[in-house]
Amino acid sequence: MDKKGIISKFRFGPAAFPVIIFGVLIILGFMNAQAFVKILWSVFEWLMINIGWAVNLGCLAFVIFLLVLCVHPIGKIKFGGPNAKPKYSTWNWWAISLCAGIGTGIVFWGAVEPLKHALEPAGGMNLEPGSIEAIIWAMRTSFLHWTLTPYAIYVTAGLAIGYAYYNMGKPYAVSSGLVPLFGKRTLGKTTIDIVDGLTLFAITGGVAGSLGYGLLQIGSGLDFVFNIEPGPIVWISIALVIITTYTISSATGLDRGIKWLSDKNAWIFIILLIFVIVFGPTAFIFNLTTQSVGSYVTNFVEAMTFTDPLPGGDLWPQWWDMYWFVDWLSFGPIVGLFLIKLCYGRSIREFIVVNLLLPSLFGMIWFGAFGGLALDLQLVEGIDLLGFMNANGMESLMLKIFEYLPLVGLIRPLMIITICLSFVTLADSMTSTVSLMSLKDNNNINEAPISIKLFWGLLMGITSVIFVLNGGLEGVKVVKTIAGFPILFLQVAMMFGFIKYMYKHGKKELAQYEQDNLEEKIS
């Protein structure tokens, strides 16, 4: 494809939105970063206090919607129609889903959240820090932030968009998820550009923020292993390697780059998990995880609706629960859009099991193992990990805990590789997805041109580096989380649209599915 052809196929309207917004943020950040970020956090706090409850209820609705749908007869409907055949194995599908979803987060927060919450619990819970009640609450809260709820956000978006794309013949774009709501009526170009532009902006900020965390954590790892003190030159060097890697990987396409990376990434996750369980406090990990899962399941609705409403509180749920939920929402539509590339020929039920239930189960085991190790070291062995974390930054903790396990010289470098792979897999999948979404006509195209992938890969990477060097990573965090608020209402509309459409057409779809399935068995 020549340059003129690429330009003619590029959707400049939605693409301009993140470029302009982050351009303005970078300029304002350099002018007066602290004052600017303070204003942004004030806006965010107002939103959390006044409509954070809607975030909780919306995310709870997504979880309930998917769990009901998983056992409903409609769950038998296939993406692509009754005769569609799957392209990817279940292992590849699950590995890609796990690594492209929250892989970067669990390698950062796996030990941090359980430890921090157990020793600094929410004021509204009236728990004694370090008590068994605080420990179980900390574990179930970590599960709340990293298992069913974030994946429900992704899968709800993916379900609506995937059905519109595969079964209704609509474009590969987030805005297609609204088609079941509006039926045969055509969405206006302005509406489409606003919806797609908002999601492109949110995911650009989301990936930039994740890379910022990754740079800090990898820099800390290099300090641990090679005594290389992190700083601007180190961060820029790391960023250049990562940006180059995920851009090249994205250029190779889904069937090679992302598939290969996620396979290796998932296996390393499993190896690290087994290592920690075997060489860590095994009995404590299993006992803690078992009781914490029970508490999580029995208190799920209560935890999802925790708002600490009395005046004068510490706003803990606003700064933790609700913050994470809107953060996931900023990723939701684009991750959902990516996940549908893997689901052709699979049923709605399979989509929910592989993209919601299985990654959530893995997340519980991961946080149970790493959180259990950190809590055992702090509360049983008497090692002040919280003090270390407060002095050296949260990015240091996951690497610190390996100091108390065997083979530290081998495992720490492996952890650094895992952090790099996790981010590369995330950025690779997001680069490929937004690039394809940026094309005007993408229904018959599997991969976007390399030049467009290069544009998005560099935009997300450079944005992160500039903010990290400017000390303004907080600006990226708050802007992308603010973007999560309108995306909440977008996804609620998608959910109700899908319910409405299936209420009218679901019986006909199921009847056709059963008929085709019967004919296939007879033949």
CATH code at position 34: 1.20.1740
Query: Region 373-384: what's the mean pLDDT?
Result: 96
Query: Region 232-242: what's the mean pLDDT?
Result: 82
The pair phi, psi for residue 383, each rounded to 5°, is: -90, 125
* Least confident span in 30-34, 70-74, 355-359, 451-455: 30-34
pLDDT of residue 231: 78
Residues 150 and 332: their CA atoms lie apart, in Å, by: 8
pLDDT grade, residue 4 (50/70/90)? very low
pLDDT of residue 2: 43
Closest by CA position to 418, among listed 99, 94, 95, 203: 99
Write the pLDDT tens digit of every residue in 279-337. 999 999 999 999 999 999 999 999 999 999 988 778 899 989 998 999 889 888 888 98
The yes-or-no verdict on residue 473 having pLDDT over 60 is: no
Reduce the DSSP state of residue 393 to 3 states and report it. coil
pLDDT of residue 108: 82
Residues 121 and 115: their CA atoms lie apart, in Å, by: 10
Which uninterrupted H or E stretch holds 69?
helix 12-71
User: How many structural domains compose the chain?
Assistant: 1
Q: What angle do CA 117, 41, 21 make, to 5 degrees?
A: 125
Which uninterrupted H or E stretch holds 260?
helix 259-279
The pair phi, psi for residue 240, each rounded to 5°, is: -60, -40
The torsion region of residue 345 among left (phi > 0), alpha (psi -120 to 50) and beta comes to left
Query: Region 372-391: what's the mean pLDDT?
Result: 94
- Residue 107: both structure tokens together: 């390698």
Quote the radius of gyration of the chain (alpha carbons, Å). Answer: 22
Closest by CA position to 366, among listed 398, 411, 334: 398
The residue type of 13 is: G
The yes-or-no verdict on residue 465 having pLDDT over 80 is: no
Closest by CA position to 206, among listed 1, 476, 443, 520: 476
Contact 174, 162 (CB under 8 A): no
Mean pLDDT for the chain?
84
pLDDT of residue 516: 66
The pair phi, psi for residue 225, each rounded to 5°, is: -85, -45
The pair phi, psi for residue 220, each rounded to 5°, is: -65, -40
Write the pLDDT tens digit of every residue in 414-460. 888 888 887 777 777 778 888 887 777 666 667 778 888 888 878 77
A 10 A CB-CB count for 354 gives: 22
Higher pLDDT, 243 or 18: 243
DSSP β-bridge partners for residue 347: 78
Domain of residue 53 covers 3-522
pLDDT grade, residue 494 (50/70/90)? very high
Closest by CA position to 229, among listed 219, 242, 215, 237: 219
Residues 492 and 156: their CA atoms lie apart, in Å, by: 9
pLDDT grade, residue 128 (50/70/90)? very high
Cβ burial, residue 223 (10 Å; 0-12/13-18/19+): middle
